[in-house]
Amino acid sequence: IVQHAREAVEQYGMVERDPANPEARPRWLICLSGGKDSYTLLAVLHELQWRGLLPVDLLACNLDQGQPGFPATVLPEFLQRMGVPHRIEYQDTYSIVVDKVPAGRTYCALCSRLRRGNLYRIAREEGCSAVVLGHHRDDILETFFMNLFHGGRLATMPPKLVNEEGDLFVLRPLAHVAEDDCERFARAMNYPIIPCDLCGSQDGLQRQQVKQILDGWEKNSPGRRQVMFRALMNARPSHLLDPALFDFAGLTRESVKFDQAETVPPRLR
């Protein structure tokens, strides 16, 4: 897991460099939900930092959104026991979601937007240049197929992006890490896992349906997930149909040039 995270950090240039001040260390806000993925993220980044491979300052953050039954003391006690710099923030977004979302609809989309907005605010208040999330390889694949099946577009969660306001990076250092590895690691470390379904709005989600499809493919053809993930790193615009990505109209027999990136596949990890 540490190796894959280090590769992602380096490959996607996640550590911001300031040419005017090479010794400056950026500060990252590590989003901690209490699930297996965010615990893994926090542990891996601290391991890289301890090894001298991640020249950034880390601040763990948990946003308590007021969900009924949320164990508010679990994460503060864990972070204090581990000696991890942290901030615990309470914002009752749950009541807003319940009020705004029609009966029978899931809360996830609005809940996520409200959570992200609060995390951006906290990052600015704490002087952080990046918000760091625990999405892994399987999350990225599931999002790709959700966009494909339901959104009619080829897109997924990128490992690095800039927020709409243009002042913060959003990073996903676990982009190359399999969900099973996160689960095994969190279980071995005996982390105090907080369930993600406290709101009761999880049944029938599109993501769960896509996950079941991918599980079936993986069962019938072991290794299929990694092959599909490699495809996301090996896009060929000239072999798709988007004229915004490739100048089909300007293509002539005399001007055909093949980019090396289109002929050399990325290595499998």
DSSP SS3 for 65: coil
Residue 266: inside a domain: no
Judge whether 126 and 27 are in contact, CB under 8 Å. yes
Q: Is the pLDDT of residue 265 over 60?
A: no
Q: What pLDDT is recorded for position 98?
A: 85
Q: Is the pLDDT of residue 196 over 80?
A: no
Task: Average the pLDDT over 94-116 and give the result.
Answer: 85
Strand partners, 64: 90
Domains in the chain, number: 1
Residue 84: inside a domain: yes
DSSP state of 267: P
Strand partners, 90: 64
> pLDDT band for position 52 (50/70/90)?
very high
Structure tokens at 104: 């029978």
Task: Average the pLDDT over 218-241 and give the result.
Answer: 96
Residue 17: inside a domain: yes
Q: Say what angle helices 206-220 and 224-232 make with each other, to 10 degrees.
A: 120
Residue 265: inside a domain: no
Judge whether 21 and 182 are in contact, CB under 8 Å. no
Q: Give the model confidence (pLDDT) of 114-130 as tens digits.
A: 999 999 999 999 999 99
Residue 71: inside a domain: yes
Q: What is the C-alpha separation between 239 and 252, in angstroms, rounded? A: 15
* Kind plus residue range of the DSSP H or E element containing 27: strand 27-31
DSSP state of 247: -
Judge whether 60 and 79 are in contact, CB under 8 Å. yes
> pLDDT band for position 269 (50/70/90)?
very low
Residue 138 sits in a domain of what CATH number?
3.40.50.620
Q: Is the pLDDT of residue 267 over 80?
A: no
Task: Average the pLDDT over 166-185 and give the result.
Answer: 98
Task: Average the pLDDT over 7-12 and give the result.
Answer: 98
Query: Alpha helices, DSSP H only, in 33-126?
Result: 36-50, 74-82, 93-100, 108-125
Structure tokens at 76: 């503060």
Judge whether 176 and 266 are in contact, CB under 8 Å. no
Residue 244: inside a domain: no
Place of tokens 């763990």: 60
Q: What is the C-alpha separation between 39 and 96, in angstroms, rounded? A: 27
Residue 184: inside a domain: yes
Residue 252: inside a domain: no
> pLDDT band for position 254 (50/70/90)?
confident
- What does the mean pLDDT of the chain come to? 90
End-to-end CA distance of the chain: 11
Residue type, 259: D
Q: Is the pLDDT of residue 204 over 60?
A: no
**Full residue range of the structural domain in which residue 158 is found:** 2-236
Q: What pLDDT is recorded for position 203?
A: 46
